[in-house]
Each structure stands twice: as C-alpha cells, then as structure tokens.
Structure 1
Amino acid sequence: MTTLKDRPNTALLVIDVQNGVVEGAHQRDAVVANIGGLVEKARREHVPVVWVQHSDEELQEGSDAWRIVPELVPDGTEPRVGKNYGDSFEATTLEAALSGLAVGRLLVVGAESDACVRSTLHGAFTRGYDVTLVGDAHTTGDKSAWGAPPPEQVIAHTNLYWTYQSAPGRTAGTVETKNVDFGATP
C-alpha cells in the first residue's frame, strides 16, 4: 500500500548492528540471533537485505567498534549504507539503493531502539514507505543514568507506539520474528 509508485518489493533493513553499538545492549545475543535468522530467511526468499552502519567520533569508519558484529556477515552483493545521523535516509544513499531495488516496504531491525531505529522508522514512513518493526529484533543500551527508562521499557514502548502508527496510503506495524512474512503487510 506504499505511496511510492512502482515499488512493489520488500527489503530487510538492518540498522547499526555494530560492535560498538550493541556491546552491552539489552538481550544482545537473542536480538542478534533473531536478526541473523531473518537475514537467512530473506536471502532464501530473495528479499533484499540492506545494511546500515553509523560512523561518528566514537565509531570511526574501519575501526573494530564500527564493524558489523561477527555473527552477521553481509553478502558482497547486498547494499551497505554509511550514515552519520539517526535517520538512515538523511544524507545517505539509502533512498537510491531502495529505489534501485523497487522497494516500497521495509522490515526494520537493529539498534538502537530509541535513537537510530526510531528515527529511521519515522524517516521511512514520512517518505512514503510501508514500515514494519520486528519487535524482538531491535535493542538498545541502558540510558537510565541520563533519565531514560530501562531498556526493556524503551523497547516495549517503541513496539507499542509503532503498532498503532497510521497515515494515508501507508501501513505500519510491529511483528515478532517468528511471524515475519516478507510478502504480507500488517
């Protein structure tokens, strides 16, 4: 139902599952395993997998902290998008990559729930994409020392509010890993 013309395909968007981002994140191993299962499923079903990697002063491009976690290995043919802002579309090649693949629907996974995942969900939705968040395949670190709720509450809240997003001509929603259907809209 995307508002993007001639964009019938779905892609799995993997955001910032990098060593320095998910180190110490809530349920890191389970989330990475869920993402790995979805990557394998997408590849089996010939669904594009698009990888996003953040870089900044703390995540220097090429450093170990910047690298995607060792459990996940991007295929050499899968698009990789570098970014410097929370929204994976902002000043990147993501839109061009998705357009080239005729993608109008995204299934989103990655880190961090309350930063780059949230920004990208909204960025995609306002650009006309159908956007589904995989509720047990995103995570965040503990920012409660700065006044944020504990990570499990941040994740639950992100899942809750994304389940009920709506806008004309687009769909949003949340799904669990075991229920992901790359062909179905929420």
Structure 2
Amino acid sequence: MTTITERPQTALVVIDVQNGVVEEAHLRDEVVATVHDLVERARREHVPVVWVQHDDDWLTRGSDAWQIVPELAPDAAEPLVAKHYGDAFEETSLESVLAGLEVGRLVVVGAETDACVRSTLHGAFVRGYDVTLVADGHTTGDKSPWGAPTPAEVIAHTNMYWGDQDAPGRTAAVARANDVDFAP
C-alpha cells in the first residue's frame, strides 16, 4: 500500500513514447500497440492517463522527433508533463499533477527502459508511490555497440529486478499488460 494514503487513485504514466525516442527501439510496434491498448483501457475505466514528454538539445521541443508517436493521441484533457531529466519528477509538474488527481499508485509504460523509465520508477518509489511496471509496455534502443546489454536483456533485467524492490509501506510490481489491474 502506498505511503501516500490520502491519494487512493491509480494513474497510467506514459513516458517518452516520442518519434525520436522509439523510432529504432526494440519491438517498437508491439510496445506502442501495448501502450495504445492500455491507454484506451485506462480511459474506459476512468483512470487518469498522464503523458510525459522529454526535450533537450537532442530532442528539440516542437520538432518531429519530439512529437508523441502518431499511433498514440493524448486527449486534450489529459495532463502532459514536460521534462528535461531522466526522472520525470525532477523539476517538473508531475508531483502536483498526481496530487491533483489524488494518485498514489502508478502504472508505468514507455521508453527508454534503461534511462527515463528506470529513473522515473525509482523517483516515484522513493517519493512513496506504489509502482507497477508493465513488463511488455516498455522498450529501449540498442546501445550494445557501446558495451551495454542488448535491448532484450535490458528489458528482461529491469522486469526481473523491479518486481523484487521493497520498501516500507510501498509496493513495486511487474505485470504484463493483460494482467494490469488499475483498481486502487
């Protein structure tokens, strides 16, 4: 149970599913389809969907690379959080958005697994949130030419270790998209 007891709601947080981030990502089309299906399900179940969109020198605000992929369409009423760092909580409005929605539990999808997804998972957890990572709802590009594990290994490792996280009053979980429960 979340340590943020006055916030009983769950939100789906979609991290950086932007053209320039996922254009060459591992299983890009499958992951984007999974995210799409979860977004639609969250909307049907009246679960808030919060979009996170990165910009920096490489991913310039307003550019085609910066745009959310065309398969996903944020609703005008859904919050969009701009970020400049890996952790979507760092110097952003994410915390105030979640507080306004009375959210204490996050279901996380997006990109990149080994950067912004991991950073945000940990950022949420240390702030007291319960955090579920969608096992088949995150991806990353191939950084193995620079010595990193392959994308499949990065994703598998993240899924493995996130389910084993533990802290007082909080839960970390990993669930496949079909098994995600948005209920508080």
Task: Classify the TM-score, shorter chain.
Answer: over 0.9
In the alignment, structure 1 residue 169 sits paired with structure 2 residue 173: no
- 2:153 paired residue number: 153
Alignment of 1:16-165 (within 5 A): 16-165=16-165
- TM-superposed CA distance for 1:147, in Å, is 0.6
Tell me how far apart the structure 2 counterparts of residues 134 and 5 of structure 1 sit (CA, whole Å): 23
Q: Percent identity?
A: 71
Tell me how far apart the structure 1 counterparts of residues 43 and 53 of structure 2 sit (CA, whole Å): 20
- 1:178 paired residue number: 178
TM-score, reference length from structure 1 = 0.98
Three-state SS of the structure 1 residue aligned to 2:5 is coil
Three-state SS of the structure 1 residue aligned to 2:170 is coil
Tell me how far apart the structure 1 counterparts of residues 140 and 3 of structure 2 sit (CA, whole Å): 30
- TM-superposed CA distance for 1:171, in Å, is 0.5
- TM-superposed CA distance for 1:5, in Å, is 3.1
1:155 corresponds to which letter in structure 2? I
2:3 corresponds to which letter in structure 1? T
1:4 corresponds to which letter in structure 2? I
Tell me how far apart the structure 2 counterparts of residues 129 and 181 of structure 1 sit (CA, whole Å): 16
Three-state SS of the structure 2 residue aligned to 1:30 is helix
- 1:5 paired residue number: 5
Tell me how far apart the structure 1 counterparts of residues 174 and 94 of structure 2 sit (CA, whole Å): 22
Tell me how far apart the structure 2 counterparts of residues 103 and 146 of structure 1 sit (CA, whole Å): 38
Q: Could you give the per-residue CA deviations for residues 74-103 of structure 1, whole angstroms, max 9, x where no partner exists?
A: 000000000000000000000000000000
2:13 corresponds to which letter in structure 1? L
Three-state SS of the structure 2 residue aligned to 1:119 is helix
Three-state SS of the structure 1 residue aligned to 2:154 is helix
Tell me how far apart the structure 1 counterparts of residues 2 and 173 of structure 2 sit (CA, whole Å): 13
Tell me how far apart the structure 1 counterparts of residues 115 and 60 of structure 2 sit (CA, whole Å): 18
2:51 corresponds to which letter in structure 1? W
Tell me how far apart the structure 1 counterparts of residues 37 and 91 of structure 2 sit (CA, whole Å): 30
The ranges of structure 1 where at least 4 consecutive aligned residues each deviate by more than 6 angstroms after the TM superposition are: none
1:66 corresponds to which letter in structure 2? W
- TM-superposed CA distance for 1:16, in Å, is 0.1
- TM-superposed CA distance for 1:58, in Å, is 1.1
Q: Could you give the per-residue CA deviations for residues 49-86 of structure 1, whole angstroms, max 9, x where no partner exists?
A: 00000000111001100000000000000000000000
1:59 corresponds to which letter in structure 2? L
Three-state SS of the structure 2 residue aligned to 1:58 is coil
Tell me how far apart the structure 2 counterparts of residues 12 and 107 of structure 1 sit (CA, whole Å): 5
